[in-house]
Amino acid sequence: MNDISRQRLKRTLSSVLINIDDMQSELAIVRAQCKLLQEEMRAIRVNSKRNRIHSIPSVCSHAEKSENSA
């Protein structure tokens, strides 16, 4: 392997290592965003369940009123 080939190889390896570092940084950002999204989705599910629980008595009492007035 001559000097020119070695220099090219060193530059290529250096570039690859920089790309790997950049990708790891981007991956960390994506993971953090996924975690936030997961927390938001969990909150939406919890709120949805709470709303269903609180809305059921209202629906039942409304149905009872309809039956009583008929």
Distance CA 63, CA 16 (A): 68
From CA 36, how far away is CA 44, in angstroms rounded? 12
> Alpha carbon of 6 to those of 9, 12, 20, 34: distances in Å?
5, 10, 21, 41
Residue 69 or 25, more confident: 25
pTM of structure = 0.58
Q: What is the pLDDT of residues 3-60, one digit of tens each?
A: 999 999 999 999 999 999 999 999 999 999 999 999 999 999 999 988 888 776 554 5
Dist. CA 6–CA 18, nearest whole Å: 18
- Chain CA centroid to CA 56, Å: 31
The pLDDT, as a whole number, for residue 51 is: 87
pLDDT at 54: 79
